[in-house]
Amino acid sequence: MPGNNPNRFARDLFSGLPRHYEVLEEVLSLGQNRRWRRATVDHVVDGAPLRVLDVATGTAGVALRLVERTAAVVTGMDLTEDMLAEGARNVAGAGVGDRLQLVAGRAERLPFADATFDALTFSYLLRYVADPAATLQELARVVKPGGRVASLEFGVPPSAFWHGWWWGYTRLVLPVGGLVTGGWRWFEVGRFLGPNISGHYRRYPVDWTVEAWKRAGLVEIGARAMSLGGGLVMWGTRAGG
The domain limits of the chain are: 6-17+31-156+203-238
What percentage of the chain exceeds 90 in pLDDT?
59
Which of the pair, 147 or 81, is modelled with greater confidence? Answer: 147
Rg of the chain's alpha carbons, rounded to an integer? Answer: 17
| pLDDT above 60 (res 186) | yes
Query: Angle, to 10 degrees, between the axis of helix 174-182 and the axis of helix 21-28?
Result: 160
Question: C-alpha 115: how far from its chain's center?
Answer: 21
Which amino acid belongs to residue 191?
R
| pLDDT above 80 (res 151) | yes
pLDDT band at 1 (very low <50, low <70, confident <90, very high): very low
Q: Which CATH class is domain 6-17+31-156+203-238?
A: alpha beta
| pLDDT above 90 (res 28) | no
pLDDT band at 226 (very low <50, low <70, confident <90, very high): confident
What percentage of the chain exceeds 70 in pLDDT?
83
The whole-chain average pLDDT of the chain stands at 87
